[in-house]
A and B are shown apart, each in its own frame.
Chain A
């Protein structure tokens, strides 16, 4: 008899294709939306967590220029007096700093054989890799003897390697950067996309003197990153750096700094903040879609039971027991919820996968979300299929038959 009831339910679903499709659509939308949103939210959280990690901890960055974003002061160009390597050397003397990594950067075209690529050339010292959390995948980093000499060597990122050398090991190969020929001595371990989606692996490192003298013909540097001695707070580090630099740059007492010291923890905080806002937004959109889907299912189920009260009356009159009618409606609701739920899971994961590719974030499907969304839709489907059906099945057959 249960199989006959299942058959009756399937027949009823087939007879009312539009109604079945609409009910299922509600479930599909609810389930797919929740799964897609939460999966994308998780992926972006992971990607932010990864880039926060790649920022390196207890690192401060010193840049010329004031912190204010207002109009430049009357001094004009004078307002951004660049740093030089002498400033970096002075910072090395501070005991609160473990490492000092001055950099200068410039966009250049890099040529290897027939291949060429335009990329960012960063002049760096041996401290650079540590301070910025890079490791070498092949070859070596700069040694301290290269910090002061303008050696014709370079270290390249994964993206540059792929463009210029394909999958071959680039170590020992020659590159031409601007007018300078140099030898590749190292390949950096890939980091992937950064916190803002930028490609972190699209870079070439050269000794800072080489870039200053042979590419730029200037002795200024763009920024100085410093790693704090373990146990030193970033506030104290920043204070000592500011005191030293104000003194070196002869800034009068009370006048504002013409440079700024930024803490990467702040950047991390901003990023994490943005991400939690994003996740919150996605979650509320998901909740709303689930609600809308739920209301849709409820509505259609209610309308359908009302519509079908006469049918229920006919079935009861010709000898169906209330239980049999109820079972049939329950099976209908379960079948719709299951099929709708499965389609919803597939659509949701598909959307999330597409979005992850597009946004270059990890695809992070969560079993619990899939189960939760599925269970929720099934619950709504069965609940709103069940209760009105139970009400109808308890009706007097005559009442139900009289129903228009």
Chain B
């Protein structure tokens, strides 16, 4: 909460004293240990930290894929930590987009159909769906690749399809856990430029986990995790730009 610039924007994600405990007794692991975090609308946050420090757990909690063991989670000002599976699914459907390290596209399914998928669950009519999916693919630079299936695309292109899929549903937040983890440096920078553009031009809030400083440099705010807690939280000093 040190960035003066972002203090002006309303809080979108607010974790208050959140713990996430796996196992019990001897085998107990505190993946999140009394973590507090506020992310405001329009921010571009990079999360870094050693392996096992709770970054993915934090992302899954923010992404409503997981529930905190204790503490509160306010999304857009509303408490969501006690919602059931289906209510969380609805929130994910309407407000969140995910980009995974392993792309997670449906195999043997065209790029267009992959991007359409969240729109189907949104109940959008077919014609509108196709138009939106095409627009999303165009936005990530995959015009003309609509009919390719994942096995016919490079890693970078597959990640672009995944971003288009996250984008198509018109989310408030895109959560990306090591989105460039499986890509070479050149493609990593292309993906980062794309995310930066979505943040700047479309005002989409982006939370991203990465291990690399030059990738984190695309964000505006850097959070360091250690042992399930936030060790430091500061604006990114040297901003890489598109």
Contacts and interface: CB of A to CB of B under 8 A. Distances in A.
Same complex:
yes
A215 B45 CA distance: 114
Contacts of B89: 316, 319-322
A282 to B, nearest CB: 42
A310 B104 contact: yes
A225 B22 CA distance: 91
A246 interface: no
Interface string A304-326: 00000011011111111111100
Interface string A391-404: 00000111001000
Contacts, number: 66
Contacts of B42: none
Interface string B63-104: 101100000000000000000011001101110101010001
Contacts of B165: 318
B65 A11 contact: no
Interface in A276-304: none
B228 interface: no
A314 B113 contact: no
Nearest to B86: A321
Contact of A15 (B105, B108, B120): B108
Contacts of B182: none
Interface in B126-144: none
Contact of B106 (A314, A319, A401): A314
Given A317-B98, A401-B100, A396 B108 contact: no
A143 interface: no
A3 to B, nearest CB: 10
Contact of A1 (B63, B65, B96, B123): B123
Q: Give the one of B60, B65, B86 with max A CB within 10 A.
A: B65
Contacts of A1: 123
Nearest to A397: B65
Contacts of B123: 1, 4
A316 B107 CA distance: 16
Given A8-B120, A396-B65, A322 B86 contact: yes
Contacts of A398: 60, 65-66
B101 to A, nearest CB: 11
B121 A320 contact: yes
B120 to A, nearest CB: 5
B118 interface: yes
B66 A318 contact: no
Given A322-B85, A398-B66, A311 B106 contact: yes
Given A8-B120, A311-B106, A398-B60, A319 B86 contact: no
A366 to B, nearest CB: 42
Contacts of A311: 106-107
A319 B109 contact: no
A80 interface: no
Contacts of B231: none
B128 to A, nearest CB: 13
A401 B121 contact: no
The 3 closest A-B pairs by CB, nearest first: A319-B93, A318-B118, A15-B108
Given A321-B89, A321-B90, 20 more contacts: A1-B123, A4-B120, A11-B113, A310-B104, A313-B104, A314-B105, A315-B117, A316-B89, A318-B169, A319-B92, A319-B96, A319-B121, A320-B93, A321-B85, A322-B85, A322-B89, A324-B121, A396-B65, A397-B65, A398-B65
Interface of A: 1, 4, 8, 11, 15-16, 310-311, 313-324, 396-398, 401
